[in-house]
Amino acid sequence: MLVVMETIPATLEELRSLIAKTDALTHATAELFDDVVRIDDVEDRRSLERLAHLVSAAADAAADAVAAGDRLAVETIRDGRG
């Protein structure tokens, strides 16, 4: 894919912003999840644990994406492409 060099900084900023939004949404979901969930029986607990693992994994993935986006931006600027 051909990218015009002038658009790289804007694209990196957009990517960083979208990743940060995803990070915020997943962390807010995890916090809300902890505050709202009710457990009535053993099957509820199993379902809750599965869902909790999914929410946690999504939050971890978003945080990793934030870090990768930040590294990409720094490397791009350092290499003179930004």
Q: What's the pLDDT tens digit per position in 35-73? A: 766 777 887 788 888 888 888 888 888 888 888 888 887
pLDDT (0 to 100) of residue 2: 44
Which residues, 6+ apart, have CB-to-CB distance to 57 below 8 Å?
Answer: none
Buried b (16+ CB within 10 A) or exposed e, 44-63: eeeeeeeeeeebeebbeebe
pLDDT at 1 over 50: no
State residue 20 phi and psi, 5-degree precision. Answer: -65, -40
